[in-house]
Structure 1
Amino acid sequence: MTAGGRRVVITGIGVVAPGSMGREGFWDMITAGRTATRRITFFDPSRFRSQVAAEVDFDGRKLGLTAHEVHRNDRFVQMAMVAADEAVADSGLTFGAGGADDAPDPDRVGVTLGSAVGATMRLENEYVAVSDAGKHWLVDPRYATRFLHQALVPSCGATELAVRFGAHGPATVVSTGCTSGIDAVGYGAQLIEDGDADVVIAGASDAPISPISMACFDTIRATTANNADPEHASKPFDARRDGFVMGEGAAVLVLEELEHARQRGAEVYCEVSGYANRCNAFHMTGLRPDGIEMAEAIGLALDQGRIDPDEVGYVNAHGSGTKQNDRHETAAVKRSLGPTAQRVSMSSIKSMVGHSLGAIGSIEIAATALAVKRGVVPPTANYGVPDPECDLDYVPNTAREQKVDVALSVGSGFGGFQSAIVLASPTRRTA
């Protein structure tokens, strides 16, 4: 990423997202402006303030996982495995013993997986079982699965991917709240840039649509109460918005050192040109309205790739659909891009696939990489009434054909995390 260093490119993309399955289904859905938000079906949500979510119609067995893999792993790990399988197949790489002559050295293959809440669904379901739905304070361990320990440690996701692809290099879990997906990809790119790996399987996964997660966000009134119209409940940057829609999903990318990819004739989606993370050290859930920390992250990420603000053609926004975040992010883009902010295309795919906490950053990077490769910017769905304090071009409702040489994907997370990653056309630089 840094000028003069080893260059990092994306050669494979895999996606598990609400309303679709796989990379192409996901792309078709978001460029059509279709939404996947609906009333929660995983449990009876009637006691909650927010009763809608963006659920994935997911069955690991039908998507290639074995019965053993499904039994021992939480849903978030299963989705990461399916997304990783697609990404690796897309890259054309083969791993492990018996692979092709150009198979990467296992010691030079790493894994970075992001997750905000880990095995939330498995842990909650197990507690229900051992306590007989909360009836007993002293729980009965006989009713717990023997794989409960895997649900307790978020590292189980990175471990499963490392074992699956025989990756003997660095294997890391990144858990920085809602920026986990950006940070996992950014860290994976830095491993390659620093010479610690040639290939990194990087991404994020979360499956938080459970009673405990919904109760947590209900308490702080961060999620939408628009239960009457789930399809249009997520309205980033729109004056009518009243909170985000919970989601779930996974996206995994194959990151590769540029010369390594060239030597095997790999197709390249884009280059990871810069990444930066900042913390506002301000408030666990609050954001300063000036957006200075996100602006600093954007500026540092652009500087890494020697990219001027006026080169940015698209910003994939965090765009959660809360007033605080939308206004903070708008201010940050104005501060970091200057006059370019008024003409840059900026959109939020959370309007269609919801907010899958730690996973969404990687899902948004997948969308951004496809936008750079295919010259189409996905829209912000459900946008109808402008907020006077959010006055940029949010690509309302309809995808836009546009050549994108440089794109930003940005995110905010509880704890004050602010992250930015820059993706650029691989032909932008010749050396």
Structure 2
Amino acid sequence: MVWLRDLLSDLVIDYSGRRSRVLLLLVAVALSTGSLVTAVGVSQMAASQIDADIAASGTDLLTVEIAPAAVDDASPDVVVEEAERPGEGASAQIFLPEALERVRAIDGVRAAGLRLPMSDGIHVRRNADADESSTLGYDLGSPVDVFGATSGYLAAYHVTPEEAWMLDAVDPYDVALVGEGIAEELGIPVAAKELTGYRIYVDDHAYEVIGVVSSGPAAASGVVLPYRTALSTAGTDRDATLLVRTEPGASRPISEIVREAVLPARPDVLQVSAAIDLATLRTGVNEQLSRLAGAVGGLLLVLTVLLIANSMIVSVMARTAEIGLRRALGASSLDISVLFLADGGVIGALGGLAGSALGCAATVGIAIVNGWSAVLHPWYLVAGPVVGLLVGIVASAYPSVRAARISPAEAVRVE
């Protein structure tokens, strides 16, 4: 322990005689390590904020569809059930009613419902018997979008008309909801609280208009029929989409289990929308910001190494006589090398400690200015001194070797 005490004593004497140099080096190390801590801290906060923003905006909507590879698969285990509407043909179903109930029972699911598009070329009009020139109608290639849906599908878009329950009847009613744009074209009052006596014809089949949809996917040019009506017409639900609205931030875990809830026997024939891709995006943003922070901090550390190394080389040249005297009094080359390594290490550790404090304060300040939640990991306080110590030792390596090679004879000639 005597040698350690002597080493510290030598460093204190040296620092007291070169206060300006020591202060300059401490400031350089503090700024570089502080910048590194700040850059990493800000990148972590920005990534967390982006993560929260993505989770809170739009990622709570999932779609479950039959995978394209399964559409042409006619094997019996893909067609789950043959559901028959009274008086009409059988329909091959994959999205069964009990599957919809299982999805709704998942924690974090706000609403879930089915949508099945009708075939192209469907004609929509108000009048049953008028000639083509006097009817108000369009085929599906124009703006009209005719599809069957359950009430849960509309609820997932925050559209909840009082009459929507009629879309879910097992034996479907001949009813329809129309978008505002279609209602205006067909002369159906948009602002009426109750609609009676208004009827539209979809491919010559009459449907009673029970409401006008002013928001959601059918707001502009949609006609919504009961889901089972579309299913009976199509004969299969292979083109159906299950829409799931989740609690904010719950889409990723739900996306991992929703296929099993819908189709436990064959979850592989289903595909879920981009919730997992968004999670990958969030991870990528975090990684990119961390790389940017590391690059900026690394550049600052390299500059600090060069500054300390240059200062230490100048110190070696200025202390050549002292080094020669120490060697003449019995100090070995290793003792001289350790002295300069310790010099750089102590300056680096002290500067790194100050840099950690500076970086944490700057991180909190930036969070306050931007209204973010401050993210400070405990390792930030440890990283500064450790990085500073390593920087100081690395920067002192060459000067310490150079100092250790100075012989007493060279020192006498320099003096």
- Fold similarity call, TM over 0.5: no
TM-score by length of 1: 0.22
Relative to its length, the structure with more helix (as a share) is 2
TM-score by length of 2: 0.23
Bigger radius of gyration among the two: 2
Structure with the bigger RCO (C-alpha within 8 Å, sep 6+) is 2
